[in-house]
Chains A and B, each alone.
Chain A
């Protein structure tokens, strides 16, 4: 199975900050990576697919980069509604696997 490792596990930041979350795959996955946002008690929401493509309706302050084994999710200017948990997921091969999550909290 492909292991996905996110860092950091927890990130403290303020409204207006630029933040970056990293996801590393244990083997190359090309661009087959997605990012999700989840707030407590809610279903995940897809943000990014194919490593860099923004889902329809997702604000442009979110961006994804990377290919192969190293990926990043960047939020250019944090808004209050962005404080949530973020997950990466590889879908290069079965089983599809997730990172452990990064909790973004208010500093």
Chain B
């Protein structure tokens, strides 16, 4: 069974950094592209970015709203994908989800972790 568990969320002051982790199990992690999405309170879904598998160069793509502030990385030996978030602002307040991209994007999702940016 595919399992994705996000962690690392919490309350953070504007301008600070936070790193989220997504620990995967139940599948061969190294084979898959992994994505991050977010959902602000009461709002719709937003794509944050993804990281390709190392077989495809391990390269990344990002939404314009986070480009240059957020970075995604992966550790295939630990089956973890990370979302490093810098220069956070109140607009980044959201539940953050990781997903496995298998049959299309967002094939399997974690339960999400809440990030609140506030002073």
| Contact B47–A34 (Cβ < 8 Å) | no
B105 neighbours in A (Cβ, 8 Å)? 34, 49, 89, 91, 96
Determine the residue in chain A with the shortest Cβ distance to B109: A43
| Chain A: minimal CB distance from B34 (Å) | 14
Given A49-B103, A50-B104, A55-B103, are A95 and B109 also a contact pair (CB < 8 Å)? no
| Contact B45–A44 (Cβ < 8 Å) | yes
**Is A53's CB within 8 Å of the partner chain B?**
yes
Interface string of A54-96 (1 = CB under 8 A from B): 0110000000000000000000000000000001010100111
Determine the residue in chain A with the shortest Cβ distance to B6: A43
| Contact B61–A94 (Cβ < 8 Å) | yes
| Contact B106–A44 (Cβ < 8 Å) | yes
Question: Interface size on B (CB < 8 Å)?
Answer: 19
Complex Cα gap A15–B14 (Å): 46
| Contact B104–A91 (Cβ < 8 Å) | yes
| Contact B106–A46 (Cβ < 8 Å) | yes
State which size class the interface on A falls in. Answer: 20 to 34
Determine the residue in chain A with the shortest Cβ distance to B107: A46
Determine the residue in chain B with the shortest Cβ distance to A94: B61
**Is B29's CB within 8 Å of the partner chain A?**
no
**Is A3's CB within 8 Å of the partner chain B?**
no
Complex Cα gap A46–B107 (Å): 6
**Is B97's CB within 8 Å of the partner chain A?**
yes
Interface residues of B (CB under 8 A from A): 37, 44-47, 61, 63-64, 97, 103-112
Given contacts A44-B109, A46-B106, A95-B63, 20 further A-B contacts (CB under 8 A): A38-B45, A43-B97, A43-B110, A44-B45, A44-B106, A46-B104, A49-B103, A49-B104, A49-B105, A53-B103, A55-B103, A87-B45, A89-B106, A91-B105, A95-B47, A95-B64, A96-B47, A99-B44, A100-B44, A101-B44
